[in-house]
Each structure stands twice: as C-alpha cells, then as structure tokens.
Amino acid sequence: MLKNVAVVLLDHVHPFELGVVCEVFGLDRSDEDLPVYDFAVVSADTPVLSTHAGFTLTTSHGLDRLEEADLIAVPAGDDFATRTFPPELLAALRRAVDRGALVLSVCSGVFVLGAAGLLDGRRCTMHWRHADELAVQYPRAIVQPDVLYVQDGPVITSAGTAAGIDACLHLVRQEHGPQVANAIARRMVVPPHRDGGQAQFIERPLAAMARCDTVGEVLAWMARHLEEEMTVEELAARAHMSPRTFARRFQQETGTTPYRWLLRQRVLYAQELLEGSDETVDAVAGRSGFGTAAGLRHHFLRTLGTTPNAYRRTFRVAAPAA
C-alpha cells in the first residue's frame, strides 16, 4: 500500500508540475477519510533551489529521504534534456525500483528516469513537443507520444503539465481504488479520468506541399476535394504517372502513403469544423470525406483517441457576444 511519498527537486524546477504532486499526495484529507501520506520534498541539489518562474524554494530533506519512499516523483524542470544529473540521485532511483518502490515523472522529469536507466525496454511518454528528443536520447525506451500517461511496471511517466494530474490520480486509483481517486478529483475540481490522449492537443500544421516537387499539385487538389472519393489510379493519372511510380514518389516526398495522407487531412479538417462551426457531426463527416458520423467517430478514435462530440466539447470556439 502506498504510504510514503517523496518529490525530488532539481534546480530550475517547474512550480506547476511540482504543485501537481504536492496537491495529490501532500494534503491532509483525513477529514474526508481519505489517505494521508508521509510526504516530503527532497533536494537533489542545494537546499535553496530556483524555479523557472523566478522565485526560490527551500527544503530540509536530502537524498537520504528517498530510501524510505514507496513513491518517488520527479517533476519537470528547465534543460532536463541536456543537463547532467547528480549520480547520487540516479543511484537512489535505481535502488528504489530494485526494492519495489514506484517512480513517477511529470513531463521532462522523464529525462531523469532515462539517465538512471529506468526507461530501457519500458513504455514511456512525455510532452508531444519533446517526445522525439526523448526517443533519440534513449533509443532503448519505447516512447508513446500520443498518450497522457503510461505505466510500465514500477515506472509511471506522464505528458506535459496537467497530464501529471492524470498520472497521479491513476496511481491513487490503482493503490486505493476508484472511490478514493474520484473523491480527490472532486476536491481538485478535475475529472477523475480524461478521455483520449495527447494526439488531440498536438498543433496541427498545414499540409506540407511546397517541397513536394512531383506530387505537389496533386496534394493541393486532394486538399481541395477531401469530401470526394479518390483512388491511387485516379491520382496517378492526374500526375501523369503509373500508379506504381506515383505511389513510390508520393512516399518519397511526403513520407507516407496517399491513403494515410488523405486520412490525416480529413481528420484535420474535421477538427477545424468541430472547433469553429455549429454543423452537426453528420454534416462534418460528409464535408470532411468520412461519409457518416460512424465513419468519423471510428477514425477519430483511432487517430486522436477521442470521439467527435468529446473533442468538440473540449475545443469548441465560443461565438463572440453580440
């Protein structure tokens, strides 16, 4: 049973990510018959630490406090992808896992776990903007950039900022059951579980066509006719190529297949319509080329991990007041 929690601070820690862990595990909620943890904030650097927001933090606990923790949390900080971490901290994290403790990272705190060798062969995640960097730096890690959090054995990693709440509540749910997790979530005024993953939050770049010398004109035509059915044979004819040559050149210049490119553009357009229009889901499905609401829902779930209605509730752009 989870009873003892320690949070590791490094210089230039991010206050929000630290606050997430403190809010879930550091408050006394015994008046509601909720678990109370033996909670400590631990410095892995000096007793006085700076934050990226310009103020300082102090703590009396050193790394020896980690030896008794059931959970060690590592919040995000500046330059974690490039800085060197104290060897004593990395060794303490490895010992914790070896004795059966849990370790949890929020956003870039995952780089600390990677430096300790705890990501090797394990599934992990972090903020979508830096997931590729994590995968390059730790090639033995199995990086999943489209999820809010993931647990692989004793290692829990989470994506950016608020996804740390999801990971912490997941751990509470696992250790104490859904009633406790739901009660803490109500106190925090957050959902006890969020649908979908990071994919729905990723910035949506415009389709890259300028650098596609051979198939650029076909890409532009496809983007203008997303609602129409189209085959590789028809697209190849527009490019004055054989289907086989067209498919090969398309892959070379876009990095994907015609079908996948078209599917992604249709999802992007559907996202725009759901955010900025009052059209029904059926109408959005028709305009974006999915035909039916069922088809749109299927591809939304596969691509974004959420439904069209849930996406609209989250990202709907409110109309300006009259």
97-113 residue pLDDT tens: 999 999 999 999 999 99
If you average pLDDT over residues 181-207, what whole number do you get?
68
* 301 and 175 together in one domain: no
For the question of whether the overall pTM of this predicted structure is more than 0.75, the answer is no
Q: What pLDDT does residue 200 have? A: 53
Is 27 a domain residue? yes
* 47 and 137 together in one domain: yes
Is 201 a domain residue? no
* 115 and 227 together in one domain: no
If you average pLDDT over residues 200-225, what whole number do you get?
67
* 43 and 84 together in one domain: yes
* 17 and 144 together in one domain: yes
Residues 222-232 have pLDDT tens digits of 988 999 999 99
Q: What pLDDT does residue 209 have? A: 46
Is 89 a domain residue? yes
Q: What pLDDT does residue 56 have? A: 95
Distance of CA 13 to the CA centre of its chain: 19
* 162 and 243 together in one domain: no
Find the CATH number of the domain harbouring 134: 3.40.50.880
Q: What pLDDT does residue 18 have? A: 95
Q: Give the β-pairing of 155-158 and 149-152.
A: antiparallel
User: Measured between alpha carbons, how far is residue 126 from residues 117, 122, 137, 300 in Å?
Assistant: 16, 13, 13, 22
What DSSP element (H or E) covers 25? Answer: helix 15-25
Residues 54-67 have pLDDT tens digits of 899 999 999 999 99
Is 321 a domain residue? no
Find the CATH number of the domain harbouring 283: 1.10.10.60
* 187 and 70 together in one domain: yes
Is 272 a domain residue? yes
Is 205 a domain residue? no
Last residue of a domain, one of 141, 161, 196: 196
Is 210 a domain residue? no
For every residue of 255-309, DSSP letters joined together read SS-HHHHHHHHHHHHHHHHHHH----HHHHHHHTT--SHHHHHHHHHHHHSS-HH
Residues 286-321 have pLDDT tens digits of 999 999 999 999 999 888 888 999 888 877 755 444
* 242 and 184 together in one domain: no
Which structural domain, as residue segments, surrounds residue 281?
A: 216-315
* 275 and 135 together in one domain: no
Domain count, the chain: 2
Residues 79-100 have pLDDT tens digits of 999 999 999 999 999 999 999 9
What the block records as the tokens of 210 is 């300028």
Is 208 a domain residue? no
* 36 and 108 together in one domain: yes
